Amino acid sequence: MTEVADVVVVGGGIAGLITARELGRDGVGVTVLEARDRLGGRVWTDRRLGRDLEMGGTWLHWVQPHVWAEVTRYGLAVTRAPRPEEAYWLAGDEVRRGTLDGFMELIDPGMRRLLSETMRWIPRPDAPVSAPGLESVDGFSLQDRLSGLDLSVEEYSANEAAWVGHFNAPLEDGAFTSALRWTAATAGSWHLMHEASAVFRLAAGTRSLVEAIAGDTDADIRTRTEVRRIEHDSAGAVLTTTAGDRIRARRVVLTLPQNLIGELDVDPGLCAEKRAASKEKTASKGVKVWIRVRGPIEPFFAYSSAAHPLSVARTEFVGDDDAVLVSFGADARRISPHDADAVRAALRVWRDDLDVLEVTGHDWMADPYSRETWLMHRPHQLTRYLTAQQRPEGVLHFAGSDYADIWAGFIDGAVESGLRVAREIRTGLGTAH
């Protein structure tokens, strides 16, 4: 027997939950089908190493308008890690030790030159492909542009490591325009961009955001329900789950990440641009590792370079007897978040006085329901695909942070996209008021 629903949302991450909440307010019956046994998707607060740790998305900021509205709406408390005074970085084979402010001064000239034309190319981050001639710049990788600055070895590796932290990818894979988009979202200030992407987090974890949104909708939310196939025509769509259940819907919202969406069996098939982007994959393919070390230690920040398995590390929790560091590397294949020996060796590039007790993380690249970390485009993907990725196809609509305008790849982008798609559907179903 085939069930019937007004709207089916595929995916119970932030984008899917926001879409469901918004449509529910208009009286639209929504069913959310989530493949995993939990909601949240790429945000996931889990109890590990004796603390509530974020396996995925973590930091947010008041310059991120959509997610901050959620923080305000639900009264969620925001906190930050202790500010690191000490910083480590590399100059060739030598380790330099200084202050975080000293490191910021070191990278400032490179950052300014790299990003000097931000507002020329992305004058309106809410309309990221509107600048005439953007295609010409979209062909550059970040590596192309960084190498062209002729920085000293020390400045180069410091800038490179900072960007590997942002891109979660080798810089030759990442589009220069992605760096411009992030910076345009903070009106050209790289300092603010840096703060927006890596400092403040929810005190009770992203779990508190997921629970607040899910608890604020009457949608029929089903976990452990993977969608395998979608057949659609102008009258509606029929979804088939892996278990063989069928649901007919007037509208469907797909929230699958870019790397996955092309693998879904959709008939008639998705447009060429959506499929091509999915096949090419995002640039991001890195790793996030949580590391518990013996304490007490002073809060610190460390940057190496793209050549190292871990390019960035810093203290996120500092206790009396231990501390927990968060670290990122450009390529998940080069280091496992579960390999304590490899992590120990990677940290030694900066300091050999850290006693690594335990490590953990989640391999998002191997996860069948994400296959990516956070969206960073490859060269050309912004101008070739974004507009088509956002475009509805008949009764199918597309939400997801990967397809957002302003903070694409962030939790904010997931919220933005859910609001956009709910509006599209509301208009189409004639429920607008």
- Binding of ligand FAD by 12 (CB under 6 A): yes
Regarding 416 and contact with ligand FAD (CB under 6 A), the answer is no
**What is the closest distance, in whole angstroms, from the C-beta atom of residue 60 to ligand FAD in the complex?**
6
Stretch that binds ligand FAD, among 123-131, 245-253, 273-281, 411-419 (CB under 6 A): 411-419
The minimum distance between CB 250 and ligand FAD, in angstroms, equals 19
- By CB atoms closer than 10 A (0-12, 13-18, 19+), residue 426 is middle
- Mapped onto helix, strand or coil, the DSSP state of residue 249 is strand
Q: Where are the beta strands (DSSP E) in 13-85?
A: 30-33, 45-48, 51-54, 78-80
Retrieve residue 26's tokens: 């208009």
- Applying CB under 6 A, does 76 fall inside the site for ligand FAD? no
Residue 428, exposed/middle/buried by CB under 10 A (0-12, 13-18, 19+)? middle
Cα separation values, 184 from 112, 160, 213, 288, Å: 13, 20, 28, 25
Q: Is 60 one of the binding residues for ligand FAD (CB under 6 A)?
A: yes
**CA-wise closest residue to 89 among 282, 323, 433, 351:** 351
Task: Please state the closest distance from residue 114 (CB atom) to ligand FAD, in A.
Answer: 22
Q: Rule CB under 6 A: say whether 33 interacts with ligand FAD.
A: yes
364 touches ligand FAD (CB under 6 A): yes
* In contact, 328 and 286? CB cutoff 8 Å: yes
Torsion (CA) 425, 236, 274, 227 in degrees, nearest 10: 100
288 near ligand FAD, judged by CB under 6 A: yes
User: Of the two residues 257 and 379, which places its CB atom closer to ligand FAD in the complex?
Assistant: 257
* Contact stretch for ligand FAD (CB under 6 A) within 89-97, 137-145, 150-158, 406-414: 406-414
The CB density around residue 198, as the number of other CB atoms within 10 Å, is: 21
Least distance from ligand FAD to the Cβ atom of residue 411, Å: 4
238-247: burial string, b at 16+ Cβ within 10 Å, e else: bbbbeeeeeb
Which residue is associated with the tokens 């609001």? 419
User: Per CB under 6 A, does 110 bind ligand FAD?
Assistant: no
CB nearer ligand FAD, residue 135 or residue 211 = 211
Residue in 369, 394, 426, 431 binding ligand FAD, rule: CB under 6 A: 369
Only segment of 118-126, 181-189, 302-310, 364-372 that touches ligand FAD (CB under 6 A)? 364-372
Q: With contacts defined by CB under 6 A, name the span among 127-135, 310-318, 341-349, 369-377 that binds ligand FAD.
A: 369-377
Q: How far is the CB of 161 from ligand FAD (least distance, A)?
A: 17
Q: Is the peptide bond before 392 cis (omega within 30 degrees of 0)?
A: no
The residue among 2 and 116 lying less far from ligand FAD, judged by its C-beta, is: 2
Nearest CA to 256 among 6, 7, 16, 8? 16
Residues 190, 374, 385, 398: which binds ligand FAD (CB under 6 A)?
A: 374
Q: Which tokens go with 208? A: 């508190």
227 binds ligand FAD (CB under 6 A): yes
CB of 14 to ligand FAD, least distance (A): 4
Q: Which is nearer to ligand FAD, 16 or 110 (CB)?
A: 16
Q: What does the per-residue mask of binding to ligand FAD show for 161-200, with x meaning CB under 6 A? A: ----------------------------------------
Show the DSSP H helices in 83-205 as ranges. Answer: 100-114, 118-121, 134-138, 142-147, 153-167, 176-184, 190-198
Rule CB under 6 A: say whether 35 interacts with ligand FAD.
yes
Report which DSSP code applies to 350: T
Q: Is 143 in the site for ligand FAD (CB under 6 A)?
A: no
Interface residues with ligand FAD (CB under 6 A)?
Answer: 10-16, 33-36, 41-43, 56-60, 226-227, 255-257, 260, 288, 364, 369-370, 373-374, 400-401, 409-412, 414
